[in-house]
């Protein structure tokens, strides 16, 4: 098989809303030959794209799981920094309803910047900051040159639309959960996948928090996210080549507790708690 079909998954950012200096915001790259697909754009994403040695002048396409800020704060970075670094074609971004309004607002928010860069001595390329925002429904959203991306609707609290993505390339299959609670659709779409990337929280640490509204925290976790035991149960049924944990809500817990929770769910296969810039 030609080397152009090689598929590498890079965890660009493995963090949560917590600004942990060691963990950039949620973002995962799937690199197929010379094409780069980025899933979610958490804060810090372009620093991690550069650290991974990927092109800084624009990715092939970006896919957003949902519009929570921790997954989208890096989207203007992905858009404007790649333009400043040389991108001249519109950046293609897929995501749920509301994506286009968000990217339109980005362009409006940085209108003075783009004007100065174009009319000033930087001689920025007019229009190079453009965005081709595509609001998606479930199903195949991208299919080109042997790479197919399928959006799977997932339940994430009271978000009307949130998606996981399955990526099929000539060599591998990858599922990226985004943020989700337990989902039969996600489990079905993940069956036998080579790389299963899951968000997770530590069930044993789900307790009310000492702040106004903090009594709702356990309910929030149950309705918006998936626990270690639930991920273990899902992975035991799905049997992925490797289970990669990211966006971990530790809440004071440890990696050993996390692994114990996954095992309690019944999964005994290969398991990695991802760090930024790991490759799979």
Interface residues toward Zn ion, by CB under 5 A: 68, 70, 179
CA distance 114 to 12: 27
178: phi > 0 → left, psi -120 to 50 → alpha, else beta; which?
left
Q: Are 154 and 185 in contact (CB under 8 A)?
A: yes
- Which residue, 43 or 124, is less far from Zn ion as judged by CB? 43
CA distance 260 to 273: 12
- Which residue, 81 or 161, is less far from Zn ion as judged by CB? 161
Shortest spacing between CB 114 and Zn ion, in angstroms: 29
- Which residue, 35 or 225, is less far from Zn ion as judged by CB? 225
Q: Are 7 and 32 in contact (CB under 8 A)?
A: yes
Residue 24: how many other CB atoms lie within 10 Å: 25
Shortest spacing between CB 88 and Zn ion, in angstroms: 32
- Which residue, 179 or 194, is less far from Zn ion as judged by CB? 179
Structure tokens of 96? 């749920």
Shortest spacing between CB 156 and Zn ion, in angstroms: 6
- Which residue, 70 or 230, is less far from Zn ion as judged by CB? 70
Shortest spacing between CB 162 and Zn ion, in angstroms: 7
Q: Which residues contact 211 (CB under 8 A, 6 or more apart)?
A: none
CA distance 206 to 222: 9
Helix, strand, coil percentages for the chain (3-state, nearest 5): 30, 25, 45
Q: For residue 248, report the phi and psi dihedrals to the nearest 5 degrees.
A: -85, 125
Shortest spacing between CB 68 and Zn ion, in angstroms: 3
Residue 186: how many other CB atoms lie within 10 Å: 25
Residue 279's beta-bridge partner residues?
Answer: 10
- Which residue, 73 or 107, is less far from Zn ion as judged by CB? 73
- Which residue, 68 or 117, is less far from Zn ion as judged by CB? 68
In the block, which residue shows the tokens 């985004």? 178
Shortest spacing between CB 116 and Zn ion, in angstroms: 33
Shortest spacing between CB 95 and Zn ion, in angstroms: 13
Shortest spacing between CB 73 and Zn ion, in angstroms: 11
- Which residue, 195 or 249, is less far from Zn ion as judged by CB? 249
End-to-end CA distance of the chain: 19
């Amino acid at each position: 098989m030609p080397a152009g079909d090689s598929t590498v998954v890079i965890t660009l950012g493995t963090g949560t809303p917590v600004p942990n200096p060691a963990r950039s915001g949620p973002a995962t790259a799937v690199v197929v030959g010379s094409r780069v697909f980025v899933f979610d754009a958490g804060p810090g994403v372009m620093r991690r794209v550069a650290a991974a040695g990927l092109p800084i002048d624009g990715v092939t396409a970006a896919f957003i799981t949902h519009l929570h800020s921790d997954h989208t704060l890096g989207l203007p970075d992905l858009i404007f920094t790649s333009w400043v670094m040389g991108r001249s074609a519109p950046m293609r971004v897929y995501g749920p309803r509301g994506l286009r309004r968000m990217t339109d607002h980005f362009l409006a928010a940085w209108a003075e910047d783009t004007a100065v860069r174009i009319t000033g001595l930087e001689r920025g390329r007019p229009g190079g900051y453009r965005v081709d925002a595509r609001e998606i429904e479930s199903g195949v959203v991208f299919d080109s040159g042997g790479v197919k991306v399928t959006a799977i609707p997932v339940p994430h609290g009271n978000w009307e639309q949130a998606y996981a993505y399955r990526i099929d390339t000539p060599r591998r299959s990858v599922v990226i959960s985004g943020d989700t609670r337990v989902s039969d659709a996600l489990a079905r779409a993940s069956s036998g996948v080579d790389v299963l990337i899951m968000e997770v929280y530590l069930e044993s640490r789900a307790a009310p928090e000492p702040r106004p509204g903090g009594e709702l925290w356990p309910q929030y976790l149950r309705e918006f996210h998936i626990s270690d035991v639930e991920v273990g149960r899902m992975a035991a049924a799905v049997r992925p080549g490797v289970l990669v944990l990211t966006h971990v809500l530790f809440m004071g817990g440890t990696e050993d507790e996390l692994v114990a929770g996954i095992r309690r769910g019944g999964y005994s296969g290969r398991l990695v708690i991802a760090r930024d810039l790991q490759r799979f």
